[in-house]
Amino acid sequence: MNYSAAEIWTIIGVMGIGTFLIRFSFLGLIGDRPMPQFVLRLLRYTPVAVLPAMVAPLVLWPTATDGQFDPVRMLAAMATVAVGLWSRNVLWAIFAGALTLYAAMGITAVL
Amino acid sequence: MTTSTMKTPATSAYWAGLRDGAPFILVAAPFAMVFGVVATDAGLTLAQVMGFSVLVIAGASQFAALQMMVENASIAFVLLAALAVNLRMAMYSASLVPHLGAAPLWQRACVAYLNFDQPYLLSISRYEARPAMTVPERFAYFIGAATPITPLWFLMTYVGVVAGKSISDAWALDFIMPIMFLALVAPMVKSLAHAAAAAVSVSVGLLLVGLPSGTGLLIAAGAAMLTGALVEVWLEKRAQ
């Protein structure tokens, strides 16, 4: 890494302010003025629109394996989604995912 | 008497948020710690690593910035990549407007600082499940949901910096974040429109994975939101 301390603090400062402004944007500027019906419809899908696209590449090409497909991580991801869909409970899904991850890692280590 | 009965709903909303938010320390703790380890390893000082976690407080973009810095990218490009990853939070901000838009400015500013994935996702599901909540209750719930995770985020970053190098790769901490996001999103797929949005999100996200950091994600998210809204309109028309 080739940055001076001032450059690093510039990155941190601008990122801090920029991130706050992004989070504040609509909530701070628009306030409680009514929003158009179609905008509200779009926003209902924010989490299911953003998170799957963020996670999918990490599941198929994990950084820890330098982008090589890893059956253990794929299995853990599938267990997380299956239990999440079935139980409608975030914690059970996390538990199932972590358990599958470590169990499958344990089994592959023994084999 | 009057004050205590008036305070009770907001106070109990705070505790409900705290209860719902508490379990996330289990997943946020390793994540913050990994950031501490990796950032120190990359050559940042303790103050700089803490600066990231306190001022930016957005895990995915902190990692994105770090990745660009390790590659010695120009400052402009480091910032662009990291902030692009956070653009999804503009959508979070917008989707909170119908629920919290009527709150005082200082409260909206607090929510904005704490508007990261876990408190947001917990709160938005709660607001949608209970439309009768008052604005003070909604604010209290949001702050409650952020209470356990925020100090822990700072503390575990510090622990990562100090104690980090003894953590073995064998623990696969890299995969804790994907598991957390999948676990958050799966229970939210509750209609055909949600399923369609998620499917478009995954396919477009994978197709555009070669684009510069965050760009493909934004396009995929936009396409998926549009899909969800259009499928919803279509379903409503068909039901009539």
Q: Could you give the number of structural domains in chain B?
A: 2
For residues B22 and B140, membership in a common domain is answered with: yes
Q: Indicate whether B38 belongs to any domain.
A: yes
Residue B65: pLDDT over 60 = yes
Question: Distance (Å, rounded) from C-alpha B142 to C-alpha B46?
Answer: 30
Q: Number of A:B CB contacts under 8 A?
A: 281
For residues B195 and B168, membership in a common domain is answered with: no
Q: Indicate whether B1 belongs to any domain.
A: no
Per-residue pLDDT at B159 = 93
Closest residue to A26, CB basis, from B97, B179, B181: B97
What is the 3-state secondary structure of B54-121?
Answer: HHHCCHHHHHHHHHHHHCCCCHHHHHHHHHHHHCHHHHHHHHHHHHHCCCCHHHHHHHHHCCCHHHHH
For residues B108 and B210, membership in a common domain is answered with: no
Closest by Cα among B66, B70, B38, B68 to B157: B38
Specify which of A11-20, A66-75, B176-185 reaches the highest per-range mean pLDDT.
A11-20
Question: Distance (Å, rounded) from C-alpha B28 to C-alpha B33?
Answer: 8
B221: domain range? Answer: 189-240
Which residues on chain B are in Cβ contact (under 8 Å) with A101?
A: 172, 175, 179
Please state the rounded mean pLDDT for residues A58-79.
90
Interchain CB distance below 8 Å, A62 and B78: no
Amino acid at A22: I
Q: Indicate whether B220 belongs to any domain.
A: yes
For residues B109 and B222, membership in a common domain is answered with: no
At B32, the pLDDT band (50, 70, 90 cuts) reads confident
Q: Indicate whether B183 belongs to any domain.
A: no
Residue A63, min C-alpha distance to chain B (Å): 7
For residues B211 and B170, membership in a common domain is answered with: no
Residue B10: pLDDT over 90 = no
Q: Indicate whether B181 belongs to any domain.
A: no
For residues B37 and B129, membership in a common domain is answered with: yes
Angle at B36 between CA A78 and CA A49, to 5 degrees: 35
> pLDDT per residue over B98-115, tens digit each?
899 999 999 999 999 999
Residue B199, min C-alpha distance to chain A (Å): 8
> pLDDT per residue over A83-96, tens digit each?
999 998 877 898 89
- Global confidence as pTM: 0.69
For residues B125 and B13, membership in a common domain is answered with: yes
Q: How far is CA A15 from the centre of its chain?
A: 19
> pLDDT per residue over A28-61, tens digit each?
887 666 767 787 788 778 778 888 988 898 899 9
Residue scoring higher pLDDT (A31 or B69): B69
Interchain CB distance below 8 Å, B187 and A84: yes
Q: Could you tell me if B175 and A64 are in contact, meaning their C-beta atoms sit under 8 angstroms apart?
A: yes
Residue percentage of chain A with pLDDT more than 90: 49
